[in-house]
């Protein structure tokens, strides 16, 4: 993708709505960089870095990691050469200060957000998805025990290693993540609606159906070719 065709997209929505799954489909379709703060923080935890140790205190309880840590991670990542063609921000911003810091950073770098895709989903769907999610420790692929099962039960199709359940997908932590979403992140829907950037889609449908809907929406608006 050339510089003039840069496309920057934010994925907003409750935990388990399917943001990461759509991001995976969209990055392949449009050749964008997937910037997932959840994935970056989990990598930092795996590496045992100072950021990771700090982040784990919050993530294990389903709380948000402090704005300063997350914002710095994203700003640094967006400054790398492979982000120049456009990015999908998945799970960021999640608070008003994060959104404002992003606005400032984009402005300084002459970039803009083209669209904020709000993936909404109903509560029973969210809980079913989060409690059934299984993740590959090697490639990070998200499966689901019934919705998106691997070919061999409990094993990644690509890496052939055992899948695991995320610590924050335990039912009690899921409950807190939903409370935190309502309290801290939901306000961003209004923030981006006022800017005329918000597009809402229903995440309750299958991942393939949702991708097709989003793809036609973006093509219809001339955001992608």
Q: Does 19 bind ligand AP5 (CB under 6 A)?
A: yes
> Which residue among 8, 27, 38, 199 contacts ligand AP5 (CB under 6 A)?
38
User: Could you tell me how many residues make up the chain?
Assistant: 225
CA–CA distance from 173 to each of 55, 61, 101, 207 (Å)?
15, 6, 28, 24
CA distances, 115 to each of 58, 73, 108, 200, 205 (Å): 29, 21, 19, 10, 21
* Residue carrying structure tokens 């829907």: 189
C-beta of 63 vs 103, nearer to ligand AP5? 63
94 lies in the site for ligand AP5, by CB under 6 A: yes
State the virtual CA torsion across 210, 216, 217, 222 in degrees, nearest 10.
Answer: 150
Q: Select which of 42, 129, 134, 177 is catalytic.
A: 177
Q: Determine if 59 is a binding residue for ligand AP5 (CB under 6 A).
A: yes
61 catalytic? Reply is no
| Catalytic residue chosen out of the listed positions 42, 77, 94, 129 | 94
**206 interacts with ligand AP5 by CB under 6 A:** yes
> What sign does the dihedral 22-71-171-134 (CA atoms) show?
positive
* Active site residue ranges: 19, 94, 133, 166, 177
Q: Which residues bind ligand AP5 (CB under 6 A)?
A: 13, 15-21, 37-38, 41, 58-59, 62-65, 70, 91-92, 94, 98, 129-130, 133, 142-144, 147-148, 168, 177, 203, 206-207, 210
């Amino acid at each position: 993708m050339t510089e003039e065709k840069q496309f920057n997209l934010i994925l907003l929505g409750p935990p388990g709505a399917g943001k990461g799954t759509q991001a995976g489909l969209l990055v392949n379709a449009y050749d964008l960089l997937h910037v997932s703060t959840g994935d970056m923080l989990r990598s930092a935890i795996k590496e045992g870095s100072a950021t990771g140790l700090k982040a784990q205190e919050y993530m294990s309880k389903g709380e948000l990691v402090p704005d300063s840590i997350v914002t710095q991670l994203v700003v640094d990542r967006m400054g790398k050469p492979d982000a120049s063609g456009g990015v999908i921000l998945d799970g960021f911003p999640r608070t008003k200060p994060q959104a404002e810091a992003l606005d400032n950073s984009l402005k300084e770098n002459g970039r803009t957000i083209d669209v904020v895709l709000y993936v909404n989903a109903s509560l029973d769907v969210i809980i079913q998805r989060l409690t059934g999610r299984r993740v590959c420790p090697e490639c990070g692929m998200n499966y689901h025990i019934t919705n998106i099962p691997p070919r061999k039960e409990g094993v990644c199709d690509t890496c052939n290693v055992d899948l695991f359940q995320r610590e924050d997908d335990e039912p009690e932590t899921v409950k807190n993540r939903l409370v935190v979403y309502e309290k801290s992140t939901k306000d961003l829907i209004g923030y981006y609606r006022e800017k005329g950037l918000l597009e809402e889609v229903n995440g309750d449908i299958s991942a393939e159906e949702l991708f097709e809907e989003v793809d036609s929406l973006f093509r219809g608006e001339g955001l992608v070719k």
